[in-house]
Amino acid sequence: MSLVSTTTVSSVAEHDLAVAWCSDLFGREPDRRPMEPSAERQRTDISSVMVDADPGDPAGNAVVFAQDAQ
């Protein structure tokens, strides 16, 4: 399997706070906001990290999406 892209999505209850925390962590604002409410930062050529608001989800939930070359 050869990966084309990966996106790690963290669900958070307090979106604005999480976006601010990630901005401090990565040293920059989000690179894009593909859908509201989410904020995504590109980490490498093929990987990104996204914060997505989901007040119903307990903190700490995450999912990784991977796309392979076919």
* All structural domains of the chain: 3-68 (3.10.180.10)
Query: What backbone torsions phi and psi does residue 45 show, to the nearest 5 degrees?
Result: -60, -30
Specify the DSSP element, H or E, that contains 26.
helix 15-26
Within 13 Å, how many C-alpha atoms sit on residue 50's CB side?
20
Distances 29 to 24, 39, 47, 67 between C-alpha atoms, Å: 8, 9, 17, 25
User: Chain centroid to CA 53: how far?
Assistant: 10
Say what the pLDDT of residue 59 is.
64
Say what the pLDDT of residue 39 is.
95
Say what the pLDDT of residue 57 is.
65
One digit per residue, pLDDT tens: the chain, 70 residues? Answer: 788 899 999 988 888 999 999 999 999 999 999 888 899 999 999 999 999 988 776 666 788 888 888 7
> What pTM, to 2 d.p., does this model score?
0.79
